[in-house]
Homo-oligomer: A and B are copies of this chain.
């Protein structure tokens, strides 16, 4: 009988193991990879393999046979045996002198473009349809390694601060954020929706775990196709109890972002380099009131204020520009948004009930986070729901939170794709979503 022990079975070596080999260990090593590039040098060829964590160079002595041509095809999956040697000009400083290449599987067709170029020269609109192959490019795949790096860093930071990770349902009975941008669903004869955010659930968890987070998909049926909207995106959500003010939330996020940049610098420098990313330097992030921010921009750029209740994208961009110029910072917290534009769970500012104790974080002039302090008192919450035209009886289970006791708390939701888009200076959010969903795109 076969028994699974959990011991390693695939004995082929990965790059981090190859670079550590010394002396006789370097003889007759075996590894595998996908042929990413072949550079013909006459008598021999450099064969570059794409492996789990990067590229490795192989030196292949040619014999000019037909068989050889079919072996050295781009995107062939191969197993290689050979001797390892130092080669300072190669990536990782090593190369394999090939003794044998075995083809494990081969493509049916050649790729419709050159995968191994630095600039792919494919329009984003066309790229979207062939993402499964475009991401085989070293620069493209680096984008989503950075996505992974950000998520790992955020998690590590939040875990260290005693946040509990939760998993909340995405099929829900009512939306948390209000408005029409919600997807409807047939659910065993009942009407259901796709969660716009885990808002209700993370708040419910506050009296249970005090601090919680979730990194998961959320769904917005936004009808406008823009360069900064997706209909499905990954939301980095956290919520924390016993806060003294929403500045505690702002501070937690500031710490999280600083940590993430340090983390990327330490662990993802290869991918940062591949994409020429300059990490922003942050010591602190300025906080400017919504009203003041609007006025500063109107004055400095000689603009009229059209909508006093919200920031236009252009205003956000200019606030970012202004803050960069005056404070040298790529980030700015805009605080105290008007009641009119914030959801029913936002706490009013006791000093001026036209405003809320809430904030957005702008990163290079783009909103990447929305957060604030939430109402924790039952009567206040019920009153505000009614003020907002909602029926408290529709929110019975959510209101258990307030009815049975809940500490002062607040939190935020950050759009992962937007954050990454700003970090790597991409102009369209579709560049930082592996398989973006917009009003016209469901495939792949």
Contact = CB atoms under 8 A, between A and B. Distances in A.
Interface in A72-131: 75-77, 104-111, 129-131
B4 A250 contact: yes
B171 A405 contact: no
Contacts of A162: 14, 52-53
Interface string A157-188: 00100101111111111000000000111111
Contact of A217 (B10, B200, B204, B216): B216
A201 to B, nearest CB: 7
Contacts of A263: none
B165 A52 contact: no
Interface string A229-260: 00110100000011110011011111111110
Nearest to A333: B4
Nearest to A257: B6
Given A401-B132, A435-B168, A287 B251 contact: no
Contact of A251 (B6, B185, B377): B6
Contact of A405 (B1, B34, B444): B34
Interface in A188-210: 188, 190, 192, 194, 200-201, 204-205, 207-210
Contact of A434 (B168, B171, B187, B207): B168
A243 B10 contact: yes
A398 interface: yes
A165 to B, nearest CB: 5
B204 A444 contact: yes
Interface residues of A, number: 129
Interface string A48-76: 00111100000000000000000000011
B378 A108 contact: yes
Interface of A: 1-10, 12, 14, 32, 34, 50-53, 75-77, 104-111, 129-133, 135-136, 141, 144-145, 147-148, 151-152, 159, 162, 164-173, 183-188, 190, 192, 194, 200-201, 204-205, 207-211, 216-217, 219, 221, 223, 231-232, 234, 241-244, 247-248, 250-259, 283-288, 333, 376-379, 396-398, 400-408, 416, 434-435, 437, 439-440, 442-444
21 contacts: A3-B286, A4-B251, A4-B287, A4-B333, A6-B257, A7-B255, A34-B207, A77-B407, A105-B377, A105-B406, A105-B407, A106-B405, A111-B404, A148-B166, A151-B165, A152-B165, A167-B434, A183-B185, A184-B186, A187-B442, A201-B435
